[in-house]
Amino acid sequence: MTAEIQIHELFKKYPNGTEAIKGISLEIQKGQFFTLLGPNGAGKSTLVKILTTLINKDSGDFSISGINPEMNQSEIQKIIGVASQDNEIDPTEKVENLLIFQGRLFGLTKTEAAKRTNELIQLFELEKERNKKASVLSGGNKRRLHCALALVHRPCILFLDEPTVGMDPVARANFWEVITQMNSRETVTIFLTTQYLDEADRHASEMALIVDGVIQYSGTIIDFKKKVNPNSELSLDESYLQYIKALSNQELTKN
Amino acid sequence: MNTATILLIERGIIKLLKNPTAPIMGFGMSLFFLLVYNAGIGGIGSMEAFGTGGYLSFVFPITIISLAMGSSAGAGQTLNADMQSGYFKRLYLSPAPRWILVVAPMLADTVSSMVFTILLIVIGAIFGVSFQFGFISVLGIQLLSFLWSLTLCGFSAGIMLRTGQHQTAAIVTNAVFPLLFLSTTFLPRELITANWLLTVSWGNPVTYILEGNRYLLGGTSSANFFYIGLLIFAITSIVSVIFALTSANKIKV
């Protein structure tokens, strides 16, 4: 069976000489809730940017749903949704108009876009904000709108790059409810990067750990925890910290 | 043209309608040239060198040129606003062809420039500007204006995309402004006494758009100026669009 996301020997070096990705290979199956973990600057966002065609790789191959995204950018955008760390909202537009426009851009008819807009406004509890300009929304509501925009076209694969940064606990819980429902009911594949490991622990089943552009672990979260500490059940947070600490010690010993 | 492309062009036009500062500035500058120059030195239009159209028809092409100069920064400003807000990245991740993200605001700018050109032509006609070939003259003026406007928009947007600074969108206008004074802007070639200025004006592309328009208006220039002007600005338009599109590849998203 072909994996939903297939990555083979991916390399990326930035013009300033930083080698962000050093030969990454990964496979993510359809319907998986996958999380990519790693410290700041490990290469998580770079990998997401390559997979979503925001930047080009240097070498290696990758495919999404069997399609080469670099050759079929337009096709890929129709099946993926992206919610990144920064709000990507036109502040001069009203909430409702932004959602409708996004739907229309992805090929929905006016009626379909309006219907989908209503669904998302309800789902993300933005009823009161519907006719407000995005610039006057609170930080939390901007994040809700930002995430809603990524879902307008009902993507089959969702890339969530630190999506809940800046959300209050209620909005966060609400957001995860929407995402987990999409994952379980509609078998939407989720590719999540986050620094909130409790969220990854609660929702994801598969993970990869990237450090300094290299995948140090890939497999299930349960196996990762067992690998770090076979005798006691630690949270993902604790397991991650132990693992990173052990890696740093190894590096120190090598040096 | 797919729906996404049409939507993005529509969006560019709506953005411009919501914030029409740039085209209105251009239009204001044009009216200033038309009314103030004609009022101040229109009397010299009775000289033979100005032809039958008088000074008003002679000065009219400057209003067309300055219109595009004033409004050409609009595309750059729209692109910059989208990049600052991060919305450009969202559009970048849509199925719309990526080149259209840059071309749409340029087209919107050019369309706005064309609309204001028509308005200027109407005002000019009311004030008594003569159009030698009637409607054909109007079409010719529109064509030259379109190419000139596209040239300025493309370079303006390209420079802004490369530098990421919205202030730089006005660089093109500032760079082109001196060219107005190194041409046959205010006087016909026959009345310019400085030989160096005459020599410079031959190499100045602005001369060809001015004289090309004058051929269509009062008939004070030869048709060659019009054809050479068309050729020059067709080439510069293509170059500027390519420049803007290649600049889009430099964007860091």
Which whole-number Å values give the CA distances from B7 to A83, A102, B96, in the listed order? 22, 10, 9
Say which of B3, B18, B97 has its CB closest to residue A107: B3
- In B, minimum Cα distance to A81 occurs at B93
Report yes or no on B253 lying in a domain: no
Summarize pLDDT for B142-172 with one digit per residue, the tens.
999 999 989 988 888 888 878 777 677 678 8
Cβ distance of B86 and A78 shorter than 8 Å: no
Query: What is the predicted pLDDT for the residue at A112?
Result: 96
Cα(B3)–Cα(A78) distance, integer angstroms: 14
**ipTM here:** 0.88
Residue of B87, B100, B250 to mutate, testing the A interface (most A Cβ within 10 Å of its Cβ): B87
Query: What is the predicted pLDDT for the residue at B68?
Result: 81
Cα(A153)–Cα(B52) distance, integer angstroms: 62
Say which of A73, A92, A104 has its CB closest to residue B7: A104
Strand boundaries in chain A, DSSP class E: 5-13, 19-28, 33-37, 59-64, 80-83, 157-161, 189-193, 206-211, 214-220
* Window from A210-224, B41-55, B151-165 with minimum mean pLDDT: B41-55
Q: pLDDT averaged over chain A?
A: 91
Q: How confident is the model at residue A230 (pLDDT cuts 50, 70, 90)?
A: confident
Q: How confident is the model at residue A1 (pLDDT cuts 50, 70, 90)?
A: low
> Crossing angle for the helix pair B205-216 and B223-248, nearest 10 degrees?
130
Residue B45 has pLDDT above 60, yes or no: yes
Using an 8 Å Cβ cutoff, are B243 and B158 in contact?
yes
Query: What is the predicted pLDDT for the residue at B140?
Result: 95
Query: What is the predicted pLDDT for the residue at A137?
Result: 94
Name the minimum distance, in Å, from the CA of A225 to any CA of chain B. 35
Pick A11 or B68 by higher pLDDT.
A11
Summarize pLDDT for B203-241 with one digit per residue, the tens.
999 999 999 999 998 877 889 999 999 999 999 999 999
Cβ distance of A92 and B82 shorter than 8 Å: no
Longest Cα separation, chain A: 63
Give the strand pairing for A59-64 and A5-13: antiparallel
Query: What is the predicted pLDDT for the residue at B26?
Result: 82
Cβ distance of B94 and A77 shorter than 8 Å: yes
Residue A175 has pLDDT above 90, yes or no: no
Structural domain boundaries, residue B37: 3-248
Cβ distance of B85 and A75 shorter than 8 Å: no
Pick A153 or B54 by higher pLDDT.
A153
Q: How confident is the model at residue B253 (pLDDT cuts 50, 70, 90)?
A: low
Name the minimum distance, in Å, from the CA of A49 to any CA of chain B. 9
Residues of A in CB contact (< 8 Å) with B are 49, 52-55, 73-75, 77-78, 82, 84, 86-92, 101-102, 104-107, 149
DSSP H helices in chain B: 3-18, 21-32, 38-41, 54-71, 73-85, 87-92, 98-127, 135-163, 171-181, 195-203, 205-216, 223-248
Summarize pLDDT for A58-95 with one digit per residue, the tens.
999 999 999 999 888 889 999 999 998 888 999 999 99
DSSP for A87-131, please give it: ----TTSBHHHHHHHHHHHTT--HHHHHHHHHHHHHHTT-GGGTT
Q: Which helix (H) or strand (E) holds A187?
A: none
* Window from A98-107, B32-41, B97-106 with minimum mean pLDDT: B32-41
Pick B18 or B214 by higher pLDDT.
B214
Percent of residues, chain A, with pLDDT higher than 70: 98
Q: Which helix (H) or strand (E) holds A236?
A: helix A236-254
- For residue A34, which phi and psi values (nearest 5 degrees)? -105, 140
Give the strand pairing for A157-161 and A189-193: parallel
Query: What is the predicted pLDDT for the residue at B36?
Result: 83
Query: What is the predicted pLDDT for the residue at A254?
Result: 65
Contacts of B95 in chain A (CB under 8 A): 74-75, 77-78, 105-107
Classify domain A5-254 at the CATH class level: alpha beta
Contacts of A89 in chain B (CB under 8 A): 85-87, 90
Q: How confident is the model at residue A46 (pLDDT cuts 50, 70, 90)?
A: very high
| Strand ranges of the sheet holding A214-220, from the earlier edge strand across to the other edge | A80-83, A157-161, A189-193, A33-37, A206-211, A214-220
Residue A156 has pLDDT above 80, yes or no: yes
Cα(B32)–Cα(B116) distance, integer angstroms: 14
* Window from A44-53, A165-174, B44-53, B191-200 with minimum mean pLDDT: B44-53
Average pLDDT on B58-64 reads 88
DSSP letter at A40 equals T
Say which of B8, B18, B93 has its CB closest to residue A82: B93
- The domain tally of chain B equals 1
Q: What is the pTM of this model?
A: 0.82
Cβ distance of B93 and A54 shorter than 8 Å: yes
